[in-house]
Structure 1
Amino acid sequence: MSLDTSQTETRRERLTAHEALQRLEQERASRLTQLRAIDEAGSDTEEQVMSTQKDTIRRVLAEVEAAFARVQDGTYGICRTCSGPIPVERLEILPYTPYCVPCQRNAA
């Protein structure tokens, strides 16, 4: 096995803190943009739908902020339920998730 291959495999096991922060910043920016768009839509959209969308976006923003804290305290990428590693592929899709897939399924 070449040195390059083992570095690639190691990299795939965990996101670096820098990569995690970049992904979380993108998520935060996206959700804030969504909130602004809903606010600007005003009366064009039904009030109940706007309220539900805002609540969902705010919930995700809270999860993103919690993920920033996990990066800072060194627990990012570790499942809160089983303490196992969260696969990097899952973190690439949901960078703010605190759970591995099996634990997320059990919680639902």
Structure 2
Amino acid sequence: MTERMSVIVKQGITKMLTSKRQECEQEVIVAREALKDNLKSGKTIRNDDLADCCIQASWVKNQSRLKCLEKCLKKFDEAIGRVYDGTYGICISCQEEIPTERLRAVPFADRCVSCKNEKNSNASFNDRAHAVL
């Protein structure tokens, strides 16, 4: 997916990314509604430790899901930007082309599998190092 991408290919990729982004946007709406429902439940149910615990667990789950979905929206926006600037499909770490199979699996991927694994490995090592300190 180099800068030599044809206009038709760019349009197709942009259309696919935009469609996936819209699906994600719909999921964000659902997640926000679930959080609103959690708030309503929290206001009506009291004096029941089990119910409060369940509401809190549901809140944490829905809040986490919303954050994840919002990150996905941002990644789709970044991917669409890369299509326009001609860098979509190019690994931001090694500058090699990202295999088509990876882009089909993760349309907003900005790293090839090797570089993504290396990044995750380094992050995991840093997390362990901080935990020891």
TM-score bucket of the superposed structures, by smaller chain: 0.7 to 0.9
Quote the offset at 1:18 in angstroms. Answer: 1.9
Match of 1:79 in 2: 91
2:79 to 67, 74, 90: 67
d(CA) in 1 for partners of 2:108, 2:20: 8
Larger Rg: 2
Q: Does 1:22 align with 2:15?
A: yes
Q: With the length of structure 1 as denominator, give the TM-score of the two structures.
A: 0.80
Residues 55-93 of structure 1 show CA distances to partners (whole Å, capped at 9, x for unaligned) of: 101111111111111011000000000000011111111
d(CA) in 2 for partners of 1:95, 1:20: 9
d(CA) in 1 for partners of 2:11, 2:112: 21
d(CA) in 1 for partners of 2:104, 2:14: 12
Structure 1, gaps ≥5 residues long: 1-13
Question: How do 1:4-43 residues align onto structure 2 when only pairs under 5 Å count?
Answer: 16-41=9-34, 42-43=37-38
Q: With the length of structure 2 as denominator, give the TM-score of the two structures.
A: 0.66
Matched-pair identity in %: 26
Task: Tell me the amino acid that sits aligned with residue 30 of structure 1.
Answer: E
Match of 1:52 in 2: 64
Match of 1:107 in 2: 119
Task: Tell me the amino acid that sits aligned with residue 53 of structure 1.
Answer: R
- RMSD of the TM alignment (CA)? 1.8
The number of residues matched between the two structures is 95
Task: Tell me the amino acid that sits aligned with residue 102 of structure 1.
Answer: S
